[in-house]
Structure 1
Amino acid sequence: MLKNWLKIAFINYRKNWLSTIINVLGLSVGLCVFLLIFIHWQDEKSYEQWIPDRENIYFVENGNASFGMMSSSSYPEIFVLKENFPEIEDATILNDWGKQKLSFNGNSAYVPGTASVDSFFRFFRFEEIAGNFRNALSDKGKIALSMETARLLFGDDYLNAIGKSITNDSNDNKYVVTAIYRLPEGNTVFKPGFIYKNPYLEQSKDQWTSYSYNGFFKIRPGTDIRALENKLSRQMQVQDEIASKNGA
């Protein structure tokens, strides 16, 4: 019986060859699209799996009628709102600082860096190799190095780099090494060769509409995110109105 069914099926396919080709092509294209979407979804999902509290960490975006959506925040937006809304457990900001040339005793490393604040390591918990993350970015004269950068500057003695002074040849500033960290494995957008405190924080502490930073909130578990978004939006609308009245 199965043999007869197969014969009938092939006869029908031959009679309706155009429909058969269209059906096979449609099925093939649909399967390929599904596989591509699945692979892309898997790749997206694989990012930042190393962050312990990732389900409670939110990247802050802003939107208004003039600029649309912006993937940047202002300093007071992040830190004043953190103090005013108990749903926000912690906050941090960071900026990609591009590649900088660091040097120590004739050795140099041209590596990408990040400018941030002392809460950085509470969000992005790199593996601590040497030194201490607690006060690693407490002032503008301190710097944390990736293990790779430390090796380029200090060679095999890189674990003893804590407390030593290096120079940023890009701006002639000197920094004391406070910590050495291991970069996370796997898919991540966080691969800084060094991290130091953002040198422009004081100028922007009162600038509510100066959207210059990448901002992150750590939200307390159980928070109604939609309700919190609405409260934050209302607060930012108030600040926008104040800035407009002041001509900012």
Structure 2
Amino acid sequence: MILNWIKIFIYHLKQNKLFSFLNVLGLSIGIASVIFAILYWNDEQSYDAWNPNKENVFLVANQMSENTFWASSSAPIGAAIKEKCSEVASYCYLSGNYESDLIRFKNKKVQSSKIVLAQKNFFEFFPFEFIEGNQKSALPDENSISLSEDLALQLFGKETALGKEVLFQNKKLIVRGVYK
């Protein structure tokens, strides 16, 4: 019986070549579209997947025009929102864009393209795992810096980075933490 169905299928393919081609083409486009939609959805869902606090961390966006939104705000907005909305427990400012600059340690210069200037409570919102130091002591003042594991390895090699002084934008900063 199956052999008979295969013969009928081949017969119809030969008789209706254009129709068969269009059916296969439509099916292929449909399957490819579903695959791309799933890949896009997975990518969109993965941005904050690493953060256990993702349900409680929000970005304030400003509507500049009907179709234009900016993910940046003025400094007083955090305190104002916390005052007006009892649901807001805390807020954290950080520079909106990654900066790219040199970080110097003695004679070593390392170009880093993912530098974020942030408040001292940054690691409460984004709980990176620390290799050296901890979240609470990572940014105690404006003369502190926390480095990624890769950047610390480039600057200090196998030595401990904690307590060392680096130069960033002609400002001396003390390394208070190294995170993964």
Q: TM-score, normalized by length of structure 2?
A: 0.86
Q: C-alpha distance in 2, partners of 1:4/1:105? A: 81
State whether residues 127 and 135 of structure 2, in contact with CA within 8 Å, keep that contact through their aligned partners in structure 1: no
Q: What is aligned with 2:148?
A: 146
Task: Give the letter aligned to residue 145 of structure 1.
Answer: L
Determine helix, strand or coil for the equivalent of 1:176.
strand
Q: Which structure is richer in relative contact order (CA contacts within 8 A, separation 6 or more)?
A: 1
* Equivalent pair of 1:93/1:116 in contact (CA under 8 Å): yes
What is the match of residue 175 of structure 2? 177
The structure with the greater share of residues assigned to strand is 1
- The equivalent of 2:106 in structure 1 is 105
Q: TM-score, normalised by structure 1?
A: 0.64
| Structure 2 CA distance for aligned equivalents of residues 26 and 148 of structure 1 | 47
Count how many residue pairs are aligned between Structure 1 and Structure 2.
178
1:55 aligns with 2:74: no
Q: Is the contact between residue 166 and residue 175 of structure 2 (CA under 8 Å) also seen in structure 1? A: yes
Identity within the alignment, %? 33
* Structure 1 residues without counterparts, runs of 5 or longer: 183-248
Q: Deviation string for 1:111-158 (max 9, x for gaps)?
A: 13110111210111111111232143232211111122222222221x
Instruction: Find 2:139's aligned residue among 123, 137, 140.
Output: 137
Amino acid at match of 2:154: L
Equivalent residue runs for 1:29-108 within 5 Å? 29-65=29-65, 68-95=68-95, 96-108=97-109
8 Å Cα contact 1:117-1:138 kept in structure 2: no
- Secondary structure class of the residue paired with 1:36: helix
Letter in 1 for 2:69: M
What aligned pairs does 1:9-20 form with structure 2 within 5 A after superposition? 9-20=9-20
Alignment-mate amino acid for residue 111 of structure 2: Y
Check the 8 A contact 2:120/2:139 in 1, yes or no: yes
Partner of residue 120, structure 2: 118
Q: Tell me the amino acid that sits aligned with residue 165 of structure 2.
A: S
Which SS does the other structure have where 1:88 is aligned? coil
Greater than 6 Å deviation, 4+ residue runs: none
